[in-house]
Amino acid sequence: VQSGVPLGVTFSFLIAAPMINEVALVMLFGLFGWQTALLYAATGLLIAIIAGYVIGRLNLERFVEGWVYETKAKQLEFVVEKISFEDRIESGIIAVKEIVAKVWIYIVLGIAVGAGIHGYVPENFMASLMGKSAWWSVPLSVLIGIPMYSNAAGIIPIVQALLEKGASLGTVLAFMMSVIGLSLPETIILKKVLKIQLIGIFIGVVGVGIIIVGYLFNFIFT
């Protein structure tokens, strides 16, 4: 927005990011084939485009924090530096260490929660709570996922355990997407540049989109 990108286009990007999750895409491709993965990506992309168009037409720029428009985008001059192969290797090692330091706790927690679900939660309970027969399972999974915080790597063990215990695919997808895309830390970050009204619209649009995807996949995989 600060660089002059229209608000609708910006929101299309913000909505597409959680809607078309790369982990879910790979998981669907591996479990059900490219047709299912393509349907998932196309659905998420369509929702992001339509939502961005609608938000752009509503002229909601007044709900963006004022300092965003007051700050002019600066033209930066980049100096191209020659980096040796050894320096590239060293930078790569540092980057890997930083990434591992950020995600290891979520992976461990995800494995622990997944193991707990796999070992101690009765299969009938999960089937009744997150199965296809419960119409409220998809919106409930979204509401449960919002307060949680994890990255894609940490949520996979939980997703696998839920599927093994009888949870429906659409419900599990909705849960995973809400954890990754609608977490409270993400909302706090958005609060720095967006007013609460626009954040509410963002959460509402993404939440409805995730619910649509969940119901769609539950309907297809009946």
Q: Does residue 182 register a pLDDT over 60?
A: yes
- In 34-133, alpha helices (H): 34-57, 66-70, 85-120, 123-130
The pLDDT-based confidence of 126 (bands split at 50, 70, 90) is low
pLDDT exceeds 80 at position 90: yes
Bigger pLDDT: 127 vs 76: 127
Establish if 30 belongs to a structural domain. yes
Return the percentage of the chain with pLDDT > 70, whole number: 70
Residue 81 lies inside a defined structural domain of this protein = no
Residue 71 pLDDT class (50, 70, 90 cuts): low
For the chain, the domain total comes to: 1
- Mean pLDDT within 34-41: 84
State the Cα–Cα distance between residues 219 and 85, nearest whole angstrom: 52
Lowest mean pLDDT among 7-21, 28-42, 151-165: 151-165
Domain assignment present for residue 149? The answer is: yes
Between 78-82, 137-141, 196-200, the lowest mean confidence (pLDDT) is in 78-82
213 contacts 178 by C-beta, under 8 angstroms? no
Report if residue 126 sits inside a domain. Answer: yes
Would you call 194 helix, strand, or coil by DSSP?
A: strand
pTM score: 0.68
Nearest CA among 19, 24, 16 for reference residue 49: 16
- Decide if 66 is inside a domain: yes
On whether residue 79 sits in a domain, the answer given is: no
The verdict on residue 12 lying in a domain is: yes
What would the pLDDT profile of 24-35 be if each residue is shown by its tens digit?
Answer: 788 778 877 888
Query: Which 3 state secondary structure label does DSSP give 64?
Result: strand
Rounded Cα gap, residues 125 and 122, in angstroms: 5
pLDDT value, residue 76: 44
Give the domain range for residue 57: 7-74+86-220
Does the residue 1 lie in any domain?
Answer: no
Q: Which residue has the higher pLDDT, 126 or 52?
A: 52
Question: Which pLDDT belongs to residue 132?
Answer: 66
For residues 141 and 181, the model is more confident at 141
pLDDT bin (cut points 50, 70, 90) of residue 208 is confident
